[in-house]
Amino acid sequence: LDCVIQDCAKNGVDVGLEGSVELKRCTVSGCGGHGVRATDTSRCNITESKLIGNKRDGCDADLPASIVVHKSLLANNRDSGYV
């Protein structure tokens, strides 16, 4: 699953509606919005990943969406690391 998502004009990863995504050993950096954004009833699992240097939050979820983070680095994002 190792991947790099970088320098996106908006969010690095958007998941919505009833969607589900798993990021494992990924880097999301330099994005113009959030590193990862979850809305509606979506779910996102982030493991052993780096969300760094994004213009908004590293992770952002609107209830009832959920983001679960394990063993990951959230650093140097302009807003909070995790909201």
> Alpha carbon of 12 to those of 28, 48, 69, 82: distances in Å?
6, 17, 16, 14
Condensed to tens digits (0 to 9), the pLDDT of residues 10-45 reads 999 999 999 999 999 999 999 999 999 999 999 999
Mean pLDDT, all residues of the chain: 95
pLDDT confidence of residue 82: 73
CA distance 10 to 30: 10
pLDDT at 81 exceeding the cut of 80: no
pLDDT at 1: 59
- Enter the pTM of the model: 0.92
* pLDDT tens column, 57-75: 999 999 999 999 999 999 9
